């Protein structure tokens, strides 16, 4: 499909802070329809500039009655009416539509959290493919409910408890679901979304990774002048490898890749990464040894955000210096820096105000988004900024990036610094961690479970505990093992290892890593934890 046709089928999500907002985007993209998510309180101009075909108002933790409850911008109703935009409110979104159009929302007599049965009362719009009386199980999570609908609206489904479960005003193209069709606990949710988009709104599917590839190549060619040179920060990870391959396809050898050894890499990572770049990717890469530069700046620093900010800004100073060196060589200063920033990095860095989201910029600055210094000289090119990890892997596959790269577990730019709580430079903490981590990852590979896990790593525990090794008392450090399953890194569950596997691993780590006498397992999901420890 042509890029313009993809854009004219855009489904825009206005985010009011639900923890499921990104899932709505993902579900819609899975239907091959392009979907984007922006802050629910964005200006009317920024909404109109995107020219959406359909707008989804997400759920959220607020009550529509609360002071400062987030709302779409003034003029929104008139805008969607005069531009024939279909609007679907989900949970808080439904309540917002009802309240803003003159109906009434109140604290419900019975709150509905979790699984609930609903029954269809009217067919036509949202449930055009159903019969009156059809029942389905859905996932609810609300305390407020619509008690009086605005003029022209009708209830099209109710919960077993009698609460409004779905409403619509077909003439005005307003629709609302009180439950969450985007979560897997609403088994028919995907079918409802599909029917709504294709049959009710008339959206055309056609957004594929081939489209993304063509569009991104065009954007890069249009952005980078014919004589311009570009630097790419290459980490050996999935995202930057795919980003580099893409930019290389667009501008050829005007791309210069740089890999930074920041002293926070895993066991033998520098050698391994440089070797595979050469043998498998055939991309020219320069390795910069910046171990001293990073570690001296991190000495004595214990506050996680401070560590992240220092790392972000050191990376940029190295890229600036690399650009300067290149200028000496090629006679022209590179103007752009390519980074493998992903959509989750951006979403997590820009939560709606007061959303109460756990994974926000204020909790964790991803080094490549929140950790960048304000006075950066290089202009950024981030071709993957709108994609989720699994989409990036698919894009890489289309371009022929070897599976060995695409299947790698993610590894954060701040590296082992966020896996050693506190000062990373004390004693030989980094070396202890590297050895334990390598044993863990090798064991996972040997057990054939590497590809079943989103990410696995060891964490250094800066606590000394008493042990007995070889009949001798030891006072040594502990290592925590962390392994999670996830689809996109935004939510995660801990991986259930076989007990024998864990027992063998614990013995090996204590025997083979001097300075360790205890091994722990992290059994926390995200939320409430994050995947990394800092």
Least distance from ligand XMP to the Cβ atom of residue 416, Å: 11
- In this chain, which of 366, 393, 434, 482 binds ligand XMP, going by CB under 6 A? 366
- For ligand ATP, which is the closer residue by CB, 98 or 418? 418
User: Is residue 239 annotated as involved in ligand binding?
Assistant: yes
413 binds ligand XMP (CB under 6 A): yes
413 binds ligand ATP (CB under 6 A): yes
User: Is residue 236 annotated as involved in ligand binding?
Assistant: yes
Question: Using the 8-state DSSP alphabet, how is residue 13 labeled?
Answer: E
Beta strands in 372-471 (DSSP E): 379-381, 455-469
532 binds ligand XMP (CB under 6 A): yes
- By a kind-dependent CB cut-off of 5 to 8 A, residue 60 interacts, out of ligand GLN, Mg ion, ligand XMP, none, with ligand GLN
Least distance from Mg ion to the Cβ atom of residue 180, Å: 32
Q: How far apart are CA 113 and CA 118, in angstroms?
A: 13
* Residue 481-500 contact track with ligand XMP, rule CB under 6 A, x = bound: --------x-----------
Q: Which of residues 293-332 bind ligand XMP (CB under 6 A)?
A: 308
Q: How far apart are CA 28 and CA 284, in angstroms?
A: 38
235 binds Mg ion (CB under 5 A): yes
Distances (CA, A) of 239 to 206, 245, 390, 413: 24, 10, 10, 11
Contact 447, 485 (CB under 8 A): no
Task: Please calculate the CA angle 427-429-435 and round it to the nearest 5 degrees.
Answer: 135
Q: How far apart are CA 519 and CA 506, in angstroms?
A: 6
Least distance from ligand GLN to the Cβ atom of residue 36, Å: 20
364 binds ligand XMP (CB under 6 A): yes
Active site residues: 91, 180, 182
- For ligand XMP, which is the closer residue by CB, 221 or 408? 408
Q: Which of residues 290-349 bind ligand ATP (CB under 6 A)?
A: 339-340
Least distance from ligand ATP to the Cβ atom of residue 22, Å: 16
User: Is residue 102 annotated as involved in ligand binding?
Assistant: no
Distances (CA, A) of 308 to 155, 311, 312, 510: 50, 5, 6, 30
Contact 335, 231 (CB under 8 A): no
Q: How far apart are CA 132 and CA 154, in angstroms?
A: 14
524 binds ligand XMP (CB under 6 A): no
Helices 238-251 and 389-398: crossing angle in degrees, nearest 10, is 40
Q: How far apart are CA 511 and CA 470, in angstroms?
A: 10
Q: Which of 480, 186, 230 is nearest to 335 (CA)?
A: 230
Pairing of strands 104-120, 154-159: antiparallel
User: Is residue 370 annotated as involved in ligand binding?
Assistant: no
Q: List all residues 6 or more positions away from 511 whose beta carbon is below 8 Å from its beta carbon.
A: none
Q: Which of residues 45-64 bind ligand GLN (CB under 6 A)?
A: 59-63
User: Is residue 345 annotated as involved in ligand binding?
Assistant: no
Task: Please calculate the CA angle 332-335-340 and round it to the nearest 5 degrees.
Answer: 130
- In this chain, which of 102, 143, 152, 162 binds ligand GLN, going by CB under 6 A? 143
Phi, psi of 464 (to 5 degrees): -100, 130
User: Is residue 235 annotated as involved in ligand binding?
Assistant: yes
Q: How far apart are CA 78 and CA 64, in angstroms?
A: 20
Q: How far apart are CA 420 and CA 414, in angstroms?
A: 11
142 binds ligand GLN (CB under 6 A): yes
- For ligand ATP, which is the closer residue by CB, 144 or 488? 488
- For ligand XMP, which is the closer residue by CB, 364 or 518? 364
Q: Which of residues 251-270 bind ligand ATP (CB under 6 A)?
A: 259-260, 262
Q: Which residues bind ligand ATP (CB under 6 A)?
A: 233-235, 237-240, 259-260, 262, 339-340, 368, 408, 410-413
- Residues of the shown chain interacting with ligand XMP in the complex, contacts defined by CB under 6 A: 308, 359, 364, 366-368, 410, 412-414, 455, 489, 526, 530-532
């Amino acid at each position: 499909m042509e890029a313009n046709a993809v854009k004219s089928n855009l489904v825009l999500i206005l985010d009011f802070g639900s923890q499921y907002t990104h899932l709505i985007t993902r579900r819609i993209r899975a239907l091959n329809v392009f979907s984007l998510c922006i802050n629910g309180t964005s200006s009317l101009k920024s909404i109109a500039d995107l020219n959406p075909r359909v707008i989804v108002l997400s759920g959220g933790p607020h009550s529509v009655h609360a002071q400062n409850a987030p709302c779409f911008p003034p003029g929104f109703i008139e805008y969607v009416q005069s531009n024939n935009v279909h609007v679907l409110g989900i949970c808080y979104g439904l309540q917002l539509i009802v309240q803003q159009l003159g109906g009434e929302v109140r604290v419900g007599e019975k709150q509905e959290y979790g699984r609930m049965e609903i029954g269809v009362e009217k067919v036509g719009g949202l449930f055009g493919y159903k019969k009156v009386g059809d029942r389905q199980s859905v996932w609810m999570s609300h305390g407020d409910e619509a008690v009086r609908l605005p003029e022209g609206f009708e209830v099209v489904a109710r919960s077993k408890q009698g609460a409004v479960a779905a409403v619509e005003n077909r003439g005005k193209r307003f629709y609302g679901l009180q439950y969450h069709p985007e979560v897997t606990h609403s088994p028919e949710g995907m079918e409802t979304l599909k029917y709504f988009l294709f049959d009710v709104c008339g959206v055309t599917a056609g957004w594929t990774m081939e489209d993304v590839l063509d569009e991104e190549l065009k954007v890069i060619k249009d952005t980078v002048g014919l004589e311009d040179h570009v630097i790419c920060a290459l980490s050996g990870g999935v995202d930057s490898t795919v980003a580099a391959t893409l930019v290389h396809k667009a501008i050829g050898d005007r791309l210069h890749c740089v890999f930074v050894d920041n002293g926070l890499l895993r066991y033998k990572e520098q050698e391994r990464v440089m070797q595979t770049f050469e043998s498998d990717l055939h991309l020219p890469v320069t390795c910069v040894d910046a171990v001293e530069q990073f570690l001296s700046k991190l000495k004595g620093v214990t506050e996680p955000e401070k560590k992240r900010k220092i790392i972000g800004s050191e990376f940029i100073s190295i890229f600036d210096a690399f650009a300067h060196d290149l200028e000496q060589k090629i006679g022209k200063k590179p103007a752009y820096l390519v980074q493998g920033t992903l959509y989750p990095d951006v979403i997590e860095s820009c939560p709606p105000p007061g959303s109460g989201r756990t994974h926000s910029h204020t909790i964790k600055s991803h080094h490549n988004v929140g950790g960048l210094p304000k006075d950066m000289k290089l202009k950024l090119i981030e071709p993957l900024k709108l994609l989720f990890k699994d989409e990036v892997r698919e894009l890489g596959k289309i371009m022929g990036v070897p599976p060995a790269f695409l299947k790698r577990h993610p590894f954060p730019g701040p590296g082992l610094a966020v896996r050693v709580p506190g000062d990373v430079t004390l004693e030989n903490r980094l070396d202890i961690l590297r050895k334990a981590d390598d044993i863990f990852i090798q064991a996972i590979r040997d057990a054939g479970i590497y590809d079943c896990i989103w990410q696995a790593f060891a964490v250094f525990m800066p606590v000394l505990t008493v042990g007995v090794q070889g009949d001798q008392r030891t006072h040594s450090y502990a290592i925590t093992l962390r392994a999670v399953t996830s689809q996109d890194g935004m939510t995660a569950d801990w991986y259930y290892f076989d007990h024998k596997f864990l027992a063998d691993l614990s013995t090996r780590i204590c025997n083979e890593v001097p300075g360790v006498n205890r091994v722990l397992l992290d059994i926390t999901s995200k939320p409430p934890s994050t995947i990394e420890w800092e």
